[in-house]
């Protein structure tokens, strides 16, 4: 502010005259004042503390710069604000570069800021600490969010300046340790627009297809050489921090020297002290791997030989209790001969049994004939015996068959007396007799019946 007022004190004043002062309209006077102020203060640098900073919907920033004695209104147009390396925050001491202009509508003046710098390392460190606490509270630095760096990446993505020594150091170190494909995304690493370019590069690598023509890297290195806090400030910007946090690809940060710690170091998955150190984190040493593999291979072969030697010793010990081969074969041969002999005998017996069965089967027709004849004789005998007890055979021997009127057989005298009529069958005919005439002389009934014959 002292620069502003010191410069203002040098405005040439018009000597007083005795003539009447010129008459101005309000607009004319405002225009003259505006022309005078802008011509005089068209390029000034003002140091002060930001107060009442506010971003309008249009993207413009309206704020004030103050010190212990005065306050100066200021505006940062949207285009300028988008290029600032940091966001204007209340309480931040800055150095603003721009011009002074007037605003006739309110009879006021203001500064149009064209560039804004943080005044001194102390202010930067204060802002750095405030941002660190803010991001930590959001969990952006949480250990559980850290991703594991692949052991042997096929492709390494690098975000840095294409012309600096950093990319050469990384390429050289990777080539010496384990040659891998390096994909560079050129970016500013300092000054206006650097933070946005770095964030865009990180997002761009993540947006590459995994199996596309340009293979997506397996790990990213975001690197820059040493410098002042102001030089490295892009790696403390929110756009960069959130791009690293949201990256699906593991990120190794390598910004500045080992003693320099930026906010990107807290959010990245691994922090390397230098760009060369980042290359060492990214790939192992091929010679060391070859040596380790040779050692492992030697130990493996040694272990295999030891294992088989132990098994050989065990087998040799077990073999002492095993009979000799000739003895085993002699016993086996004897058992084989016995089995062959028994098999031959069994086969002969089997064939003999089959031959006997065939002979028996050939005699079956004769046996059947005999059986039929025997059965026929038995049937004839039974027929003869049945015929001898038939009714006709009995009647032929002089017997008669007596029936009543109901054709029931009469077996005794009592049944005969009860019958009304008697039917008497002889061998040569049947006689019917009325039994009522003979009831007076029961004892002569038999004689009457025979007289009737």
CATH number at residue 218: 3.40.50.261
Residue corresponding to tokens 């969990």: 139
Query: Where residue 367 falls among pLDDT bands split at 50, 70, 90?
Result: low
Indicate whether 61 and 134 sit together in one domain. no
Mean pLDDT computed over 66-78? 92
DSSP assignment letter at 363? T
What is each CA distance from 295 to 289, 290, 308, in whole angstroms? 10, 9, 20
Q: Please give the pLDDT value at position 61.
A: 93
Which of 271, 287, 303 lies at the terminal end of a domain, its last residue? Answer: 287
Cβ count near 227 (within 10 Å): 15
Q: Does pLDDT of 18 surpass 60?
A: no
Query: Where residue 211 falls among pLDDT bands split at 50, 70, 90?
Result: confident
Mean pLDDT computed over 252-271? 92
Q: Please give the pLDDT value at position 8.
A: 39
Query: Where residue 2 falls among pLDDT bands split at 50, 70, 90?
Result: very low
Q: Does pLDDT of 227 surpass 50?
A: yes
Q: How many degrees, rounded to 5, is the angle at CA 14 between CA 11 and CA 19?
A: 160
Strands 71-76 and 93-103: unpaired
Indicate whether 62 and 142 sit together in one domain. no
d(CA 154, CA 282): 10
Indicate whether 154 and 189 sit together in one domain. yes
Cβ count near 447 (within 10 Å): 11
Indicate whether 155 and 215 sit together in one domain. yes
Mean pLDDT computed over 19-39? 85
And the tokens for 214?
């340009």
Indicate whether 70 and 172 sit together in one domain. no
* Cβ contact 55:61 at 8 Å: yes
d(CA 392, CA 382): 17
Query: Where residue 210 falls among pLDDT bands split at 50, 70, 90?
Result: confident
Residue 342 is assigned to a structural domain of this protein: no
Indicate whether 68 and 185 sit together in one domain. no
And the tokens for 426?
């002889």
Q: Please give the pLDDT value at position 29.
A: 87
Which of 118, 148, 164 lies at the terminal end of a domain, its last residue? Answer: 118
Q: Please give the pLDDT value at position 418.
A: 87
Tens digits of residue pLDDT in 407-426: 888 888 888 888 888 888 88
Which of 254, 287, 320 lies at the terminal end of a domain, its last residue? Answer: 287
d(CA 261, CA 195): 16
Q: Please give the pLDDT value at position 206.
A: 96
Indicate whether 91 and 173 sit together in one domain. no
Indicate whether 144 and 234 sit together in one domain. yes
Residue 154 is assigned to a structural domain of this protein: yes
Q: Please give the pLDDT value at position 451.
A: 41
Q: Does pLDDT of 145 surpass 70?
A: yes
CATH number at residue 15: 2.40.50.140
DSSP symbols for 201-251: HHHHHHHS-TTSSSPPPSEEEEEE----TTTTGGGGSHHHHHHHHT-SS-E
Mean pLDDT computed over 303-330? 82
Query: Where residue 321 falls among pLDDT bands split at 50, 70, 90?
Result: confident
Indicate whether 425 and 447 sit together in one domain. yes
Could you give phi then psi for residue 219, rounded to 5 degrees? -155, 150
176 beta partners: none
Q: Please give the pLDDT value at position 364.
A: 63
Residue 102 is assigned to a structural domain of this protein: yes
Q: Does pLDDT of 360 surpass 80?
A: no
Indicate whether 281 and 133 sit together in one domain. yes
Query: Where residue 11 falls among pLDDT bands split at 50, 70, 90?
Result: very low
Residue 141 is assigned to a structural domain of this protein: yes
* Cβ contact 38:100 at 8 Å: yes
Q: Look at 173-187, 214-228, 350-364, 389-403 and tell me which has the smallest mean pLDDT.
A: 350-364
Q: Look at 146-155, 251-260, 364-373, 383-392 and tell me which has the smallest mean pLDDT.
A: 364-373
Q: Please give the pLDDT value at position 23.
A: 86
Query: Where residue 362 falls among pLDDT bands split at 50, 70, 90?
Result: low
Tens digits of residue pLDDT in 418-448: 888 888 888 888 888 876 644 444 444 444 4
Domain that includes residue 71, residue range: 2-118
Total domains in the chain come to 3
**Which position has the higher pLDDT, 123 or 437?**
123
**Which position has the higher pLDDT, 21 or 443?**
21
pLDDT above 70 coverage of the chain, percent: 90
Mean pLDDT computed over 100-109? 85
Residue 343 is assigned to a structural domain of this protein: no
Q: Does pLDDT of 368 surpass 80?
A: no
Cβ count near 229 (within 10 Å): 16
d(CA 99, CA 34): 12
Indicate whether 6 and 59 sit together in one domain. yes
Q: Does pLDDT of 161 surpass 90?
A: yes
Residue 382 is assigned to a structural domain of this protein: no
Q: Does pLDDT of 85 surpass 80?
A: no
Q: How many residues does the chain have?
A: 453
And the tokens for 358?
């065939």
Q: Please give the pLDDT value at position 363.
A: 62
Indicate whether 94 and 150 sit together in one domain. no
Mean pLDDT computed over 374-401? 81
Average pLDDT along the chain: 84
Q: In what order do the strands lie in the sheet with 401-403?
A: 401-403, 421-426, 429-434
């Amino acid at each position: 502010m002292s620069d502003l007022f010191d410069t203002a004190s040098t405005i040439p004043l018009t000597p007083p005259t005795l003539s009447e002062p010129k008459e101005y309209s309000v607009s004319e006077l405002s225009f003259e004042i505006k022309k005078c102020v802008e011509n005089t203060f068209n390029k000034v640098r003002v140091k002060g503390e930001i107060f009442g900073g506010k971003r309008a919907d249009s993207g413009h920033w309206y704020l004030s710069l103050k010190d212990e004695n005065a306050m100066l209104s200021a505006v940062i147009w949207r285009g300028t604000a988008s290029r600032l390396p940091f966001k204007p925050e209340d309480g931040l001491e800055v150095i603003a570069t721009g011009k002074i202009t007037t605003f006739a509508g309110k009879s006021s003046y203001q500064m149009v800021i064209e560039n804004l710098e943080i005044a001194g390392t102390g202010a930067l460190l204060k802002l750095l600490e405030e941002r660190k606490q803010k991001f930590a509270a959001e969990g952006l630095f949480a250990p559980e969010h850290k991703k594991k760096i692949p052991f042997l990446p096929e492709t390494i993505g690098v975000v840095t300046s294409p012309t600096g020594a950093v990319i050469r150091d990384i390429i050289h170190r990777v080539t010496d340790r384990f040659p891998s494909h390096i994909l560079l995304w050129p970016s500013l690493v300092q000054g206006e627009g650097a933070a946005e370019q770095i964030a865009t590069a990180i997002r761009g690598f993540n947006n590459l297809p995994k199996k596309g023509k340009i293979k997506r890297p397996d790990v990213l290195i975001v690197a820059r050489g040493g410098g002042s806090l102001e030089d490295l400030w892009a790696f403390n910007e929110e756009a960069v921090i959130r791009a690293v946090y949201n990256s699906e690809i593991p990120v190794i940060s390598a910004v500045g020297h080992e003693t320099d710690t930026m906010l990107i170091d807290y959010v990245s998955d691994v922090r390397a002290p230098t760009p060369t150190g980042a290359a060492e984190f990214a790939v192992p040493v091929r010679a060391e791997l070859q040596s380790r593999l040779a050692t492992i291979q030697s130990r493996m072969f040694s272990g295999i030989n030891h294992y088989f030697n132990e098994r050989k010793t065990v087998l040799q010990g077990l073999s002492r209790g095993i009979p000799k081969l000739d003895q085993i074969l002699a016993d086996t041969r004897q058992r084989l001969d016995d089995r062959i002999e028994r098999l031959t005998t069994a086969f002969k017996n089997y064939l003999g049994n089959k031959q006997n069965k065939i002979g028996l089967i050939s005699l079956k027709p004769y046996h059947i004939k005999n059986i039929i004849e025997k059965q026929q004789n038995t049937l004839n005998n039974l027929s003869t015996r049945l015929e001898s007890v038939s009714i006709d055979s009995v009647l032929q021997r002089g017997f008669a068959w007596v029936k009543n009127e109901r054709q029931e057989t009469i077996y005794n005298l009592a049944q005969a007396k009860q019958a009304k009529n008697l039917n008497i069958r002889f061998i040569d005919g049947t006689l019917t007799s009325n039994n009522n005439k003979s009831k007076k002389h029961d004892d002569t009934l038999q004689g009457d019946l025979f007289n009737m014959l």
